[in-house]
Structure 1
């Protein structure tokens, strides 16, 4: 117990310090998020990955908190996904390549002996979905840090209830690292996670939850997993539905995420982050209560119902604006007249 407290404090301090120290070099290298009104350096991703990995490996190396069988493989795969995301931050990387690389990294993480082949394939798809959903949350100041921190605490509680001490320790260190990062990511943010950090967080959370719930029934497990990642999942579903209904490409960026719509309704950046944090906390609480047997499995249905209502309501908030008419050149007009006149 004492080491867990020390490890969490060390991870928090290390993440906060590294995020600040890396900020200036990252700015000079031009590794910034240009989707916001001002360039935000993406120093938080490296800080969270380094703090989580170093503290977890230190506990495993000293024997004070061994990661356990298969957990080291999960951490290595998450770091590999973070490296892939870092490449996407530095150079333009196709979304399909990013999805494919994340799926390949997820394959060795799933315990197929307990999930079965079909369940394993679904688990790989879900890990990729959650990783990409957390990447989408990093479009604004605050949400990815707040939501990720709460989800990591909840996932750690679930792992502890299954007596997976090494996994619980890893998740508590991740939660502490995200708390240190959130000190710099709170609106107005001085640092962001970037694709590398966001994919790392989502991948590690999803993979840990799959390992925790493996062998406990597909439908009940799906409910718990969804509840613990409800806000990130809702954001991804909202964006996909919105772009499909508007006839836009699913891969085309736009101001159509949860925070964008909440800002349209008049909330401040801080208010939107707090609201999403409250929503994430409610989902995490429901998932943990079901996991430990303190609430019935039907509790997660309430989470799903609330998410569906929120998504349908926010779909009505206009975010795209009128479509631009294509420019018609004079040569095109003359060509059309020639066709009409035969």
Structure 2
């Protein structure tokens, strides 16, 4: 790590990543448009005109530049995160360019996760959430042993796909990723996680925020799988680094809580497709954001609603990280109940609207 890096330098890293992504996105957009690398409207698309994609390359550029000027490449964990990230980026890029078969895409994601695991990024122990059941004088850690390898691969692949599947409206994935990265950044500082975790999250938050102005509705560029898979991978891998350094389950609990919305959306999509007898990887237009649009929300309003929900979840995650489990759970449960109530009212309003208009 460069000797000039100060513990408060996350602000500097955040600024570098933001500025590089902000400056690099128009360049990537111009090159993609010139080469004809655009997302053309389809039956399930929300956009109506061709939009350049591969914006994930600008996000990656912001991230790598900020990491390079702050952490360098000498740290083993940082290098493992970056090498796996490059593989995941390549998988997303190949899918954007050539539309990979689902199994090939999944195999590439597993390969990226295994690169990180091979570099030492793996879940080895977890704080026992039922520590009060541990016999007196016993160890309160759950040692996973060899099971940590498949668990880490599953974690990385799952979070990568969660971000990828939520990328259905302009600015949605980039905004939720920014909120999640900032939340993990704050929690890393609160819980005394090492500087590399703080700076890696600052780099990710900055690069997604720098990309967002060009991606918010109406989007001038999409991140594509190139960006979505890389963002999800980085969130997952860096969380494991934090877990390695603290052996605290909160390192994984925080991203799970703050990403509860896209996680729930992914789980519902899987169940929906299994019940319909369709392939799990098959796309549809029944995601949460699609449902909000059908309820009458505008494109922007649907995204802002999901930002707001994610922010409330982030507050719950911060409370849990502070050790106030009851308060954190109360926030999350209250939010869930509120969202359920509002959703029911919106459904009722949407059903009654044609009748009112008919009168």
Q: Which bracket does the TM-score occupy, shorter chain normalised?
A: 0.7 to 0.9
Q: Deviations over 1:138-170 (max 9, x none)?
A: 222111011000001111122222331112111
Does the Cα contact within 8 Å between 1:42 and 1:194 map onto a contact in 2?
A: yes
Deviation at 1:68, TM superposition (A): 4.0
**Which secondary structure does the structure 1 equivalent of 2:15 belong to?**
helix
Is 1:206 aligned to 2:236, yes or no?
yes
Of 227, 237, 241, which aligns to 1:197?
227
Does the Cα contact within 8 Å between 2:54 and 2:226 map onto a contact in 1?
A: no
Does the Cα contact within 8 Å between 1:240 and 1:250 map onto a contact in 2?
A: yes
**Counterpart position of 1:3:** 9
1:283-302 matches, cutoff 5 A: 283-293=313-323, 295-296=324-325, 299-300=328-329
**Counterpart position of 1:92:** 99
Q: Distance in 2 between matches of 1:106 and 1:251?
A: 19
Deviation at 1:251, TM superposition (A): 2.1
Question: What is the TM-score normalised by the length of structure 1?
Answer: 0.81
Q: 1-10 or 22-31, which moves further after superposition?
A: 1-10
Change in Cα spacing, 1:242 to 1:50, as seen in structure 2 (3 Å) is same
Q: Deviations over 1:288-310 (max 9, x none)?
A: 221232x2167348637966996
Q: Distance in 1 between matches of 2:335 and 2:153?
A: 26
**Which secondary structure does the structure 1 equivalent of 2:100 belong to?**
coil
Change in Cα spacing, 1:273 to 1:112, as seen in structure 2 (3 Å) is closer
Is 1:50 aligned to 2:61, yes or no?
yes
Stretches of structure 1 that go unaligned for 5 or more consecutive residues are: 318-342
Q: Distance in 1 between matches of 2:201 and 2:213?
A: 19
1:110-149 matches, cutoff 5 A: 110-114=121-125, 115-149=144-178
Deviation at 1:67, TM superposition (A): 7.4
Does the Cα contact within 8 Å between 1:19 and 1:184 map onto a contact in 2?
A: yes
1:1-342 matches, cutoff 5 A: 3-34=9-40, 35=45, 36-61=47-72, 68-107=75-114, 108-109=116-117, 110-114=121-125, 115-160=144-189, 161-214=191-244, 216=247, 223-293=253-323, 295-296=324-325, 299-300=328-329, 303=332
Does the Cα contact within 8 Å between 2:10 and 2:198 map onto a contact in 1?
A: no
Q: Distance in 1 between matches of 2:304 and 2:207?
A: 19
Q: Distance in 1 between matches of 2:217 and 2:146?
A: 43
Q: Distance in 1 between matches of 2:152 and 2:338?
A: 26
Does the Cα contact within 8 Å between 2:96 and 2:224 map onto a contact in 1?
A: yes
Change in Cα spacing, 1:75 to 1:284, as seen in structure 2 (3 Å) is farther
Q: CA RMSD in A?
A: 2.7
Q: Deviations over 1:267-316 (max 9, x none)?
A: 111111111111111222222221232x21673486379669969979x9
Question: What is the TM-score normalised by the length of structure 2?
Answer: 0.78
Q: 282-291 or 242-251, which moves further after superposition?
A: 242-251
Q: Distance in 2 between matches of 1:308 and 1:120?
A: 36
Q: Distance in 1 between matches of 2:253 and 2:213?
A: 31
Deviation at 1:51, TM superposition (A): 0.9
Q: Distance in 1 between matches of 2:152 and 2:327?
A: 22
Change in Cα spacing, 1:142 to 1:151, as seen in structure 2 (3 Å) is same
Stretches of structure 2 that go unaligned for 5 or more consecutive residues are: 1-6, 126-143, 348-359
Q: 234-243 or 48-57, which moves further after superposition?
A: 234-243
Change in Cα spacing, 1:285 to 1:105, as seen in structure 2 (3 Å) is same
Aligned length: 310
Deviation at 1:95, TM superposition (A): 1.6
**Which secondary structure does the structure 2 equivalent of 1:70 belong to?**
helix
